[in-house]
Amino acid sequence: MKKRAKTQSSRNPAQSQPKDDRPSAELRDLAQQTERQLNIIQRGMRQRLQAEFARGNLTGPQRLVMAALVRTQGLSLKQLSEAVSLAHSTVSGIVDRLEKQGLIERQTHSTDRRITLLVASPPVREFMDTRMHELALHPLLEALRHASPTERRSITRGLNTLAKLLSRTGAQAKDEVFDELNN
């Protein structure tokens, strides 16, 4: 009897030991190193853009309001308050200050004259449409300009591989969340 039990456990070791899904220390270190490098890259790419934004002397909440308005064709004060998750009175004060600086404008809604829309001013729109994209890409363009063709191909291959792997695991994560919601 003992011999048979031993033979069965040796035939199927997965049944006798629980599966360990935890990543190895080496894999965890690689993930942390990759995250650090991606953060460094992201900071480097935003540096010139942030310097340009700093010239505008905007507070964090003011930048938040501006970002919300630039992404839209205009919002009412109520919609803007909801979009930035700040109190109506707070957003009202921010809007007044931004309007005095010429960064936003108030416009009457085209079909309902009772509604006033807040929109980014034309100079802000022009900056966002042209200069911002240029500032955001500049560090990357400069780095790639100094890279050899082999380095450029290597960068592209590595980024494509990482994006493919992340999308694959992202799809799995979405499926797992969906499964949990349905149970």
Confidence at 125, pLDDT banded by 50, 70, 90: confident
- Which pLDDT does position 174 carry in this prediction? 54
- Which pLDDT does position 73 carry in this prediction? 86
Rounded to an integer, what distance in angstroms lies between the CA atom of residue 68 and that of residue 85?
A: 11
19-73 tens-digit pLDDT: 667 889 999 999 999 999 999 988 888 787 777 777 777 888 888 898 899 888 8
Q: What is the pTM of this model?
A: 0.50
Q: Which residues pair with 65 in a beta bridge?
A: none
| Dihedral sign, Cα of residue 147, residue 150, residue 151, residue 153 | positive
* Helices (runs of H) and strands (runs of E) counted in the chain: 9, 2
Is the model's pLDDT at 173 over the cut of 60? no
Instruction: Using alpha carbons, select from 114, 128, 110 the residue that is nearest to residue 74.
Output: 110
Is the model's pLDDT at 94 over the cut of 90? yes
Per the prediction, the chain carries an average pLDDT of: 82
With beta carbons less than 8 A apart as the criterion, state whether 120 and 66 touch.
yes
Neighbouring C-beta atoms of residue 66, cutoff 10 Å: 21
Domains and CATH numbers, the chain: 50-144 (1.10.10.10)
Confidence at 178, pLDDT banded by 50, 70, 90: very low
